[in-house]
Structure 1
Amino acid sequence: MKSLILITVLSALVACYEASAELPGGYSVVYDDTVDGNVMPNTEINARNQNFRLIYEVVAVASAAIGRVKNSFVTYQGPNNVRVDRLVITNHVQPASVFHSTLGTNNMEVRFVSNVSQPISSTVRMYQRSGAGRAFGEPAFHLVVLVLMYFGFSQLA
């Protein structure tokens, strides 16, 4: 009977190990308008981000303190014509909880709360849908400014 229990436990451990090997590039939690908090492998996220463009990326870190819980905040305040449509969080150390503000605005705040005596180490990426708006400094904006300046100066001369 003891050997049967031992074999069952070992086979469960092997199954868990094989399941963890299915995500070789790691995993991330994706928040967007279609699903809320969907866990995806990083390779699948890269394939699905073709309709999005990265607008902000930062690594949130906080060192461990023995017997204490740590907090880390990530804040993004973009121009009015930029909207955060997708939030991707890759946790290198699993935090106790993650809170974020609503999507679809130009301001985003993400708060990490660690487990007791653990650090915080997470990568936060914010995306905007491609073609949803243009940030200041893009080539199309400069082309419009140059055309207006050219025609404006030619009218004066």
Structure 2
Amino acid sequence: MRSFIIITVLSALAACYGAAVLPSEDEMVTIIYDDKSPNGIIMSRADFDARSQGWVLLSEANDLIPAVEGQVQSIRMVYRA
């Protein structure tokens, strides 16, 4: 019984640690809205960088958005053509 409790506690700690680790910037996604996908398409950072080569920056904004209490979320809006 004692080993079962230890295994359960260790499993719970591993799950909490996995949920608490923030993703790196490479793992984040970007949502693209354009004439081909008006509802948005989700792209990885690498796919977005490859697609946006040669675009000209029109505007850029970094804002904090309302989040769950105790958490901070930010959004980066970039307009390119």
What is the TM-score normalised by the length of structure 1?
A: 0.33
- Residue 49 (structure 2) pairs with residue 46 (structure 1): yes
1:91-121 CA-partner distances (Å, limit 9, x unpaired) = xx5x3xxxxxxxxxxxxxxxxxx13767774
- Residue 32 (structure 2) pairs with residue 12 (structure 1): no
RMSD: 3.5
- Residue 80 (structure 2) pairs with residue 127 (structure 1): yes
- Give the C-alpha shift of residue 125 in structure 1: 0.4
Distance (whole Å) between structure 2 residues aligned to residue 8 and residue 40 of structure 1:
30
- Give the C-alpha shift of residue 59 in structure 1: 2.8
Count residues in correspondence: 72
**1:50 aligned partner, one-letter code:** Q
Q: Which has the higher contact order (CA 8 A, sep 6+)?
A: 1
Distance (whole Å) between structure 2 residues aligned to residue 3 and residue 24 of structure 1:
35
Is the alpha carbon distance of 1:12 and 1:116 closer, same or farther for their aligned partners in structure 2, counting shifts above 3 Å? closer
Is the alpha carbon distance of 1:24 and 1:125 closer, same or farther for their aligned partners in structure 2, counting shifts above 3 Å? closer
1:106-143 CA-partner distances (Å, limit 9, x unpaired) = xxxxxxxx137677743210112xxxxxxxxxxxxxxx
Judging by fraction of residues, say which structure has more strand.
1
Query: Percent identity over the alignment?
Result: 14
Q: 118-127 vs 5-14, which deviates more?
A: 118-127
Structure 1 equivalent of residue 32 of structure 2? 31
**Gaps (5+ residues) in structure 1?**
61-92, 96-113, 129-157
Distance (whole Å) between structure 2 residues aligned to residue 57 and residue 38 of structure 1:
19
Structure 2 equivalent of residue 90 of structure 1? none
